[in-house]
A and B are shown apart, each in its own frame.
Chain A
């Protein structure tokens, strides 16, 4: 397993997720802003792509996601505070 590659992908997910969080909060108070909504949808689309790439290789970041067919990968290291 290539840890460096995993960390790089995780960093990209963190960045795109942060974009989505910022737009999410903005849209909570500006629900009719069409530009904000477009940006949000774009970020979610990119995030979904990064997430499926990550999941396919390392198992889901969510407990309720894909964690392999032979072994429950969810419990495997590293946990967030160990990275």
Chain B
């Protein structure tokens, strides 16, 4: 089960509200390579992982991604704090205001709502871990684009922390992939007539 801690993993600060940038960064909330996708992808893949090390890594990174989702939510909150309908309109985000006002919603930067199609689970640990490594790289790239798209040094700082976490997650998934491959190398493979031992 999960327990909530009433704090963020890392402080989230903005110099001043910026609805235009909120419209972009929302993709890390509800976009394909965002934090909701990451969290659900990893926590859902745990059940078909063969080693304790893989179960732990997916549990722990999946949990940290939930904390990142909360940081992005806090960032969007601060970027839109006190914004008027006219400011949403000027930022090209009038649709957000009309449908959700100041409420958050799971979409990407183009307004496309979150979908389970963004995540995969094939039940094969190699396939799934490679997907996870690709997902971390996609998130890293998106954070780089977002860092380039804002001039606010405080926002850049927050995004740089999240960017760096993707790099670490990629590293840990790579190590997990290696250990799972080693584990599978010892098992009798299906094409040798054996049931794949789990």
Q: Which residues of A contact B60 (CB under 8 A)?
A: 63
The A-contacting residues of B in range 30-70, CB under 8 angstroms, are 46-47, 52-53, 55-56, 59-60, 63
Enumerate B1-18 residues with CB–CB distance to A below 8 Å.
1, 3
Q: Which residues of A contact B63 (CB under 8 A)?
A: 63
Q: Does A74 contact B (CB under 8 A)?
A: yes
Residues of A near B56 (CB, < 8 A) are: 74-75
The main secondary structure of chain A at its interface with chain B is loop
A34 lies within 8 A of chain B by Cβ: no
A75-B52 contact in complex given A62-B3, A63-B60, A63-B63, C-beta closer than 8 Å: yes
**Closest residue of B by beta carbon distance from A79:** B55
Q: Which chain B residue has the least Cβ–Cβ distance from A74? A: B56
Chain A nearest CB, measured from B161 CB (Å):
18
Q: A61 CB to closest chain B CB, in angstroms?
A: 9
The reply to whether B3 and A75 contact each other, CB–CB distance below 8 Å, is no
Chain B residues whose CB sits within 8 angstroms of the CB of A79 once the complex forms: 46, 52, 55, 59
User: What is the 8 Å Cβ interface bit string for chain A, positions 51-83, against chain B (1 contact, 0 not)?
Assistant: 000000000001100000000001111011100
Report how far A77 CA is from B52 CA in the complex, Å: 7
Where chain B touches its partner, the secondary structure class is helix
How many residues does chain B have at the interface if contact means C-beta atoms less than 8 Å apart?
11
Least CB separation from B55: chain A residue: A79
Residues on B with C-beta less than 8 A from A77 are: 52
Min CB distance, A27 to chain B, in Å?
15
> Are B47 and A81 in contact, CB atoms less than 8 angstroms apart?
yes
Contact status B47-A76, CB under 8 Å: no
B121 → chain A closest CB, angstroms: 14
**What's the minimum C-beta distance from B48 to chain A, rounded to whole angstroms?**
11
Distance between B56 CB and nearest chain A CB, rounded to angstroms = 4
Q: Residue on B with the closest CB to A62?
A: B3
Alpha-carbon separation in the docked complex, A62 to B4 (Å)? 12
Contacts of A76 in B (CB 8 A): 52
Collect the chain A residues with CB atoms within 8 Å of residue B55's CB: 75, 79
Would you give the shortest CB distance from B174 to chain A, in whole angstroms?
A: 17
A77, B1: Cα distance in complex, Å: 16
Residues of B within 8 A of A74 (CB): 56
Q: Which residues of A contact B3 (CB under 8 A)?
A: 62
Q: Which residues of B contact A (CB under 8 A)?
A: 1, 3, 46-47, 52-53, 55-56, 59-60, 63
Show 7 A/B contacts (Cβ-Cβ < 8 Å), sorted by A.
Answer: A63-B60, A75-B53, A77-B52, A79-B46, A79-B52, A79-B59, A80-B1
